Amino acid sequence: MIKKLLSKVFGRSASPRARLRIIPFDQHGVARNRVSGSALRVTSALQAKGHAAFIVGGAVRDLALGLEPKDYDVATDATPEEVHALFRRSRIIGRRFRLVHVMFGPDTVEVSTFRGRADGGGEGDAVRDEHGRILRDNVFGSQEEDAIRRDFTVNAMFYNPATQEIWDYLGGFADLRAKRLRMIGDPVERFREDPVRMLRAVRLSSKLGLEIDSGTRAPIRTMSDLMQNVPAARVFDEMLKLLLSGHAKECVVRLRREGLHHGLLPMLDVILEQPLGERFVMLALENTDQRIREDKPVSPGFLFAALLWHEVLAAWKGHEGRGMKPFPALQRAMDEVLSVQEKKLAIPRRYDAVMREIWSMQPRFETRAGRRPFALLEHPRFRAAYDFLVLRAQSGEQPAELAAWWERFQRAEPEERNVMLQPDTGPRKRRRRRRSGAAAAAVSPGGQ
């Protein structure tokens, strides 16, 4: 109400100043042949029907930085129904805001209709929760309004492949040149509308090498608690993007610096305080970043297994200390850690099986005699479990010699492997190993 009154009295002074600058090709250098064929087909088909259609958001930003966009978004004045009618392989999705997915082979181009203002400037107000978080804003608007409701100025540029022009209402291009990540409008208000923007600020600044503008950065520290009101599944999606951005280590360091890691990676609070835990987590993140940069696949399950390992380890040792046998103690520890994390971080259950396998295979690396090492080698999850052991060894939690032995063992010829086996397979020890091995098989899902 008050806001409406204020904006009546003062016009739209509370809204960011928007002035369209059209930036020609010779200034930004983004040639249309760098744009994905699928996105080009979408914009040209829409334009042929007389609609406005631009590539928008992260793709324009990445192209202007000389990077290859991960995915393409198109913004248009056509309604979702009009877009859907134009493309045979397309479907209307989304409840919060309806948009169209247009499919070409493996590519999906996301097409959205220009969206109106969320703050009452448009014909319908957004629905908010008691903290000011926007729950729904489903109003179509002008291109300018569409730019203003985006998060950062560098994410609000439009590229028209037909003319090779960038349309920039909010100075995003100048900010990009200055390597500055700046929130559109009043940062406090925009973080309140959607606290996930704080995470996006950290992720995008790390990934793109941009400095978060001081006005944008300042409120984060005091507003970080608002993350608690965001549905856990949304936090998880954004965290996954962050962890798989290729800059996970830097992001986590920055999250801590901004005080944003509470409630996101609650376990990190505790783990990072122990030197061994911190070293292990940082190595895991570095390792993930490296794999992503080399275009190798990474498994989120592996990463979560690593982030939670020292919690599992502490609980495991705790149960052992209270007299439980090692394998049931590990089993109990895994159950506890997973159930707590499910509530806090909403790690979906589909990752549980991988995490459990990786963890419960760890004690099996300690047996280096008899047939068991051969059986472990055949396990479908061997590679992941071995990579995990390497991280443990690098962080100093396990002897380097153990990881080195397994490295050699897997590469060795069959006869050489027999020679490598530890000779201490006397009857007494063998009996003991057999018992613990049987218990290991019982906790391992692979052994069940």
List the catalytic residues.
71, 73, 151
Distance CA 111, CA 129 (A): 27
Distance CA 215, CA 65 (A): 23
- Residue 46 contacts residue 182 (beta carbons within 8 Å): no
Judged by beta carbon distances under 5 to 8 A according to partner kind, the member of ligand ATP, Mg ion, none in contact with residue 217 is none
- Residue 249 contacts residue 303 (beta carbons within 8 Å): no
Taking the complex as a whole, the smallest distance from the CB of residue 202 to ligand ATP amounts, in Å, to 12
Taking the complex as a whole, the smallest distance from the CB of residue 19 to ligand ATP amounts, in Å, to 18
Residues forming the site for ligand ATP (CB under 6 A): 57-58, 70-71, 73, 150-151, 155-156, 194, 196-197, 241
Residue 64 vs residues 27, 67, 245, 247: alpha-carbon distances, Å: 10, 7, 19, 20
Taking the complex as a whole, the smallest distance from the CB of residue 71 to ligand ATP amounts, in Å, to 6
Residue whose C-alpha is closest to residue 382's, from 366, 364, 404: 364
Judged by beta carbon distances under 5 to 8 A according to partner kind, the member of Mg ion, ligand ATP, none in contact with residue 151 is ligand ATP
Nearer to Mg ion, 68 or 415 (CB): 68
Applying CB under 5 A, the site for Mg ion has a residue count of 2
Local structure of 68: helix, strand or coil: coil
Taking the complex as a whole, the smallest distance from the CB of residue 71 to Mg ion amounts, in Å, to 5
Taking the complex as a whole, the smallest distance from the CB of residue 157 to ligand ATP amounts, in Å, to 9
Q: Is 413 exposed, middle or buried (0-12, 13-18, 19+ CB in 10 A)?
A: exposed
AA identity, residue 322:
R
Judged by beta carbon distances under 5 to 8 A according to partner kind, the member of ligand ATP, Mg ion, none in contact with residue 125 is none
DSSP 8-state secondary structure symbol assigned to residue 195: T
Distance CA 59, CA 369 (A): 54
Distance CA 298, CA 265 (A): 19
Nearer to Mg ion, 196 or 307 (CB): 196
300 makes contact with Mg ion (CB under 5 A): no
Taking the complex as a whole, the smallest distance from the CB of residue 90 to ligand ATP amounts, in Å, to 18
Taking CB under 5 A as the criterion, which residues in 35-74 touch Mg ion? 58, 71
446 makes contact with Mg ion (CB under 5 A): no
Nearer to ligand ATP, 72 or 382 (CB): 72
Nearer to ligand ATP, 156 or 202 (CB): 156
171 makes contact with Mg ion (CB under 5 A): no
Local structure of 245: helix, strand or coil: coil
Judged by beta carbon distances under 5 to 8 A according to partner kind, the member of ligand ATP, Mg ion, none in contact with residue 194 is ligand ATP
Distance CA 36, CA 123 (A): 35
Judged by beta carbon distances under 5 to 8 A according to partner kind, the member of ligand ATP, Mg ion, none in contact with residue 155 is ligand ATP
Judged by beta carbon distances under 5 to 8 A according to partner kind, the member of ligand ATP, Mg ion, none in contact with residue 121 is none
Residue 246 vs residues 277, 286, 288, 298, 351: alpha-carbon distances, Å: 21, 9, 7, 10, 20
157 makes contact with Mg ion (CB under 5 A): no
Judged by beta carbon distances under 5 to 8 A according to partner kind, the member of Mg ion, ligand ATP, none in contact with residue 30 is none
Distance CA 54, CA 143 (A): 10
Distance CA 27, CA 165 (A): 9
Q: In this structure, are strands 53-56 and 157-160 parallel, antiparallel, or unpaired? A: antiparallel
Taking CB under 5 A as the criterion, which residues in 247-266 touch Mg ion? none
Helices (H), 346-426: 352-361, 372-378, 382-394, 400-411, 414-420
Q: Which residue is nearest to ligand ATP (CB)?
A: 58
Q: Which residue is nearest to Mg ion (CB)?
A: 58
Nearer to Mg ion, 71 or 320 (CB): 71
Judged by beta carbon distances under 5 to 8 A according to partner kind, the member of ligand ATP, Mg ion, none in contact with residue 197 is ligand ATP
Nearer to ligand ATP, 3 or 70 (CB): 70
Nearer to ligand ATP, 148 or 272 (CB): 148
DSSP 8-state secondary structure symbol assigned to residue 157: E
Distance CA 434, CA 439 (A): 9
AA identity, residue 219:
P
Taking the complex as a whole, the smallest distance from the CB of residue 31 to ligand ATP amounts, in Å, to 20
Nearer to ligand ATP, 167 or 406 (CB): 167
Taking the complex as a whole, the smallest distance from the CB of residue 95 to ligand ATP amounts, in Å, to 16
The 10 Å CB-count burial string (b at 16+, else e) for 47-84 is beeebbbbbbbbbbbbbbeeeebeebbbbbbbebeebb
Write out the residues near Mg ion by the rule CB under 5 A: 58, 71
